[in-house]
Amino acid sequence: MKTMKEKGKKFISQKFCTSCNGKRLNPNVLNCKINTYSISDMCELELTELLNVIKDIKDKRVSSLLTSLKDGLTRMINIGLSYLHLNRGTNTLSGGEAQRLKLVRYMGSSLSDMLYIFDEPSTGMHSHDVKKINRLICDLKERGNTVIIVEHDKEVIKIADEIIDIGMYAGWKGGEVVFQGTYKELLDAQTLTAKAIQYSAPVKEEVRKSNSFFSISNAQLNNLKNINVDIPSKILNVVTGVAGSGKSTLITKVFTDQYKDDIVVVNQKAVFTTNRSTPITFIGGFDEIRNIFATENHVNKGYLSFNSQGACEECKGKGVIVTELVHMSPVISTCESCNGGRYNQHALSLTYKNKNILDVLTMNVDEALDFFADAKVSKKINQLKKVGLSYLTLGQPLSTLSGGEVQRIKLAQTLNKKGKIYILDEPTKGLHASDIDRLMKLFNALVDKGNTVIIIEHNLDVIKQADWIIDIGPSGGKNGGELVFQGTPNDMVKSANTLTAECLRADLT
């Protein structure tokens, strides 16, 4: 079913303004120049080029502005964003690029005795760039600030003075402090985090071979430099490279445009989430559960939906009451009639195996698999278990899930397809290191079913387990867009001269 946005594309076209040619400024502004550069010209320069242009401006009247501008540009260059230009739309940035821009906002601050909280600052970053992030975080601390980082990356964990490990597992099996101390003390602990830090996945020795390929010829979108790439079919491919190298452009744009009919894309884009959307509705299993209850109780299945006849009369199935205040934010309170359950009393009186529909929605995936062991819906529920989400409850609102959890739910929705090309954009995002092995088993199972899997990834443990690696680089922006390596993980370790290969060899020593 097409969305309104997709339907609207038939009637809407977008093109550059013929008056300003996409520069968005009027002629009077564009005619104002410094050293032959207009403001638009400067904003189109890569940051390293722009910094050199700014250094050539000698007007003492703006010396303080120039100093501030040079400091800001230098911080962005040092954090690995030298290839960006100031006109770049933020909606076109990768997750790693966006994270680094957020960090740059605070790096120039002269404030001290502040508390900074960073939520997974390494997300979407190549191992080469994580080292730059670590230096900046340490600089913040050395200025007299307190820094708290929520993180999974091994390299970021290493720089901590104090580590607090929450677990032992996820969901209802977690929520406890299982360790607190230094990094050295953590290595002697028996927590999942400690074991994951000490474990280094081996390089895959026996790789799958392919006799056919998906060919890309003369790719030159964005910074791609007219490259030709053959992607082997029916094996596990990993496409890697630093942020801005062009790997996402190559796969999610050039490749998908060419082979769009057979592609299943699981990307980082958020799904449309409300407090009414849940894991079981997203994977298409709620209809089957409602049918089971309706058949058992001889009623219309609409009575088992909090969006229909089963909804609480007071909150209309929302579970909360929203009180709008004219000059302030609305007040949201739990509905007293249903106590947040969203169902009316008649719906709750309908039972199956002595459980009502609300009891089922509050079950986690493991409990639901036992409860529906003989029902058809168990196959769909099991898809959530396969992607490592057994701790979620069936009725948990999707709006409360992390980005990594949402991405895995999207993956769970597509697991049963065969003969397809799966494209996964950084599937380890937000994932604890102990869960990566489970995810790799899932990807290998997809290949064993006859699918081709293409993973865009920075995680070294994923790269090591590929059948075939395609490395795009050598750097980002205008210095990227080239095919710098393709081959097996062993080939990369032995002979590749790329940033990814350097990080891979360092991880193995």
Whether the bond between 474 and the residue before it is cis, its omega within 30 degrees of 0, is yes
CA separation, residue 147 to residues 95, 115, 116, 181, 192 (Å) = 21, 6, 5, 16, 23
Q: What is the mean pLDDT of residues 117-134?
A: 84
d(CA 189, CA 183): 10
Q: What is the mean pLDDT of residues 107-134?
A: 83
List, for residues 369-409, the tens digit of each pLDDT value. 999 998 899 999 999 998 888 889 999 888 888 777 887 88
d(CA 168, CA 187): 16
Please provide the average confidence, as pLDDT, over all residues in the chain: 88
Contact present, 219 and 250 (Cβ < 8 Å): yes
The distance from CA 216 to its chain's CA centroid, rounded to whole angstroms, is: 26
The yes-or-no verdict on residue 1 having pLDDT over 50 is no
The pLDDT, as a whole number, for residue 272 is 59
Tokens of 68: 């501030």
Contact present, 250 and 471 (Cβ < 8 Å): no
How is residue 309 annotated by DSSP? T
d(CA 502, CA 479): 18
Tokens of 20: 């300003």
Q: Which among 79, 94, 34 is positioned nearest to 59, based on CA atoms?
A: 34
The yes-or-no verdict on residue 175 having pLDDT over 50 is yes
Q: Which residues contact 285 (CB under 8 A, 6 or more apart)?
A: 377, 380, 381, 394
| 3-class DSSP state of 212 | coil
Percent of all residues in the chain with a pLDDT value above 70, rounded to a whole number: 96
